[in-house]
């Protein structure tokens, strides 16, 4: 009866198999705890779950779970008529294993929380550095006087660097540079003859037109550069998306491969400008009352859109894409063209002069 005395109904021995299952369950719970803690500490990507009250009370839940695990793994074995000295040794071994596992889990949790704290501190320090750099660049930009021209240029490119490093600050920097151009390059009235843009104006326009437009897909800004003097500015591959240049003077500008959507180009002056391979099909309103006389427009794209009272006198239209463009009152006198100039579907009215197709 000694061998079966402990096997009474309702009470089972904690056999090796059962202990293995319980240990596996405990280790699985521990692994889940570690993963959950790492996710909360933002070491892993956030889970799409709102934890609610667990955000505050998860330590208590973990403690209760571990207590239950201890009770299950170390429940008392049934009494036996003969004491086996190995029973105490087995319980001590299991207790040691449990303590070791608990210590490892606690170390992982502590490491995850430490990493989260370190990351937060690094983020705060980084934002402080961005703020300091931004403030210094604004001070440089606001330094008046011709003798401080290159100080302003340095401030402009410093702002560009901040915008590239800190996406959250790009919108503010775009607004600052737009305000700078409206103030420093203002064109009082349409009859004003503008002189060549100084280096700081050129730099500000360049930075605005090479910003990372992809960051603005959800809330694109409207950059108001109406009635500004931007003579001779240079910006290869400039992205004019969201920029209004209505009534601005850009004669002699060097803007090859310029492109963009929602551009305001009415009443703009682009005489003798280099617009090689430009995509001018993305303007927001009709291309109206603009002057592109003598402009290099080879391989430029205009349509499908409408040109109204636009001057293209002596413009270079070799290889230009004019397909499906509607010409109303356009002056094409002396415009250069060749067999590669595309005019399929292009239409013109009686007030248009110089049409060759």
Q: What is the pLDDT of residues 135-146, one digit of tens each?
A: 999 999 999 999
Does the pLDDT of residue 178 top 90, yes or no?
A: yes
| CA–CA separation, 14 and 77 (whole Å) | 7
Q: What pTM does this model have?
A: 0.69
Q: Which residues of 143-152 are buried (b: 16+ CB within 10 A; e: fewer)?
A: eeeeeeeebb
Q: Do 221 and 179 touch, CB atoms closer than 8 A?
A: no
Alpha carbon 167 to its chain centroid, in Å, reads 6
Which range, of 42-46, 190-194, 201-205, 237-241, averages the lowest pLDDT? 42-46
Name the H helices within the chain: 16-40, 54-73, 85-141, 149-165, 170-184, 199-209
Which range, of 8-12, 124-128, 294-298, averages the lowest pLDDT? 8-12
Where do we find the tokens 């750099």? 133
At residue 41, φ and ψ (nearest 5 deg) are -85, 5
pLDDT, mean of residues 248-273: 95
At residue 347, φ and ψ (nearest 5 deg) are -130, 150
Please write the tens of the pLDDT for every residue from 82-114.
555 555 566 667 666 666 766 776 666 667 666
Q: Two tokens at 90? A: 């087995």
Which residue would you say has higher pLDDT here, 49 or 179? 179
Q: Do 323 and 346 touch, CB atoms closer than 8 A?
A: yes
Q: Do 312 and 291 touch, CB atoms closer than 8 A?
A: no
The model's confidence at residue 187, banded by pLDDT at 50, 70 and 90, is very high
| CA–CA separation, 268 and 288 (whole Å) | 9
Looking at every residue in the chain, the average pLDDT score rounds to 81
Residue 23: name the closest of 116, 109, 93 by CA: 93
According to CATH, the topology of domain 184-348 is Pectate Lyase C-like (2.160.20)
Please write the tens of the pLDDT for every residue from 108-119.
666 766 666 666
| CA–CA separation, 234 and 255 (whole Å) | 6
Please write the tens of the pLDDT for every residue from 18-51.
555 556 556 666 666 665 665 555 555 554 444 5
| CA–CA separation, 98 and 286 (whole Å) | 77
Q: What is the pLDDT of residue 131?
A: 87
């Amino acid at each position: 009866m000694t061998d079966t005395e402990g096997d009474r109904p309702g009470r089972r021995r904690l056999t090796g198999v059962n202990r293995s299952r319980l240990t596996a369950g405990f280790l699985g719970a521990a692994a889940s705890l570690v993963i959950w803690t790492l996710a909360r500490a933002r070491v892993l990507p956030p889970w799409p779950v709102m934890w609610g009250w667990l955000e505050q009370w998860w330590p208590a839940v973990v403690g209760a779970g571990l207590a239950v695990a201890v009770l299950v793994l170390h429940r008392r074995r049934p009494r036996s008529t003969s004491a086996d000295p190995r029973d105490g040794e087995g319980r001590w071994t299991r207790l040691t294993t449990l303590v070791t596992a608990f210590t490892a889990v606690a170390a992982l949790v502590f490491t995850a929380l430490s990493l989260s704290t370190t990351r937060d501190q690094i983020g705060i320090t980084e934002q402080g550095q961005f703020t300091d750099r931004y403030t210094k660049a604004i001070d440089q930009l606001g330094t008046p006087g011709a003798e401080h021209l290159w100080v302003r240029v340095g401030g402009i490119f410093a702002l560009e660097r901040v915008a590239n490093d800190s996406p959250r600050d790009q919108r503010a920097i775009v607004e600052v540079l737009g305000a700078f151009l409206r103030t420093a390059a203002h064109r009082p009235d349409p009859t004003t003859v503008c002189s060549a843009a100084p280096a700081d104006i050129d730099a500000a326009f360049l930075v605005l037109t090479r910003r990372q437009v992809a960051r603005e897909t959800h809330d694109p800004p409207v950059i108001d550069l109406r009635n500004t003097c931007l003579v001779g500015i240079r910006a290869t591959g400039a992205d004019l998306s969201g920029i209004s240049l209505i009534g601005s003077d850009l004669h002699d500008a060097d803007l090859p491969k310029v492109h963009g959507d929602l551009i305001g180009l009415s009443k703009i002056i682009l005489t003798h400008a280099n617009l090689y391979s430009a995509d001018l099909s993305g303007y927001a309103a009709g291309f109206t009352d603009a002057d592109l006389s003598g402009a290099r427009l080879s391989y430029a794209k205009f349509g499908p859109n409408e040109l109204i009272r636009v001057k293209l006198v002596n413009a270079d239209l070799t290889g230009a894409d004019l397909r499906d463009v509607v010409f109303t009152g356009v002056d094409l006198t002396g415009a250069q063209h060749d067999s590669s100039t595309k005019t399929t579907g292009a239409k013109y009215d009686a007030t248009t002069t110089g049409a060759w197709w």
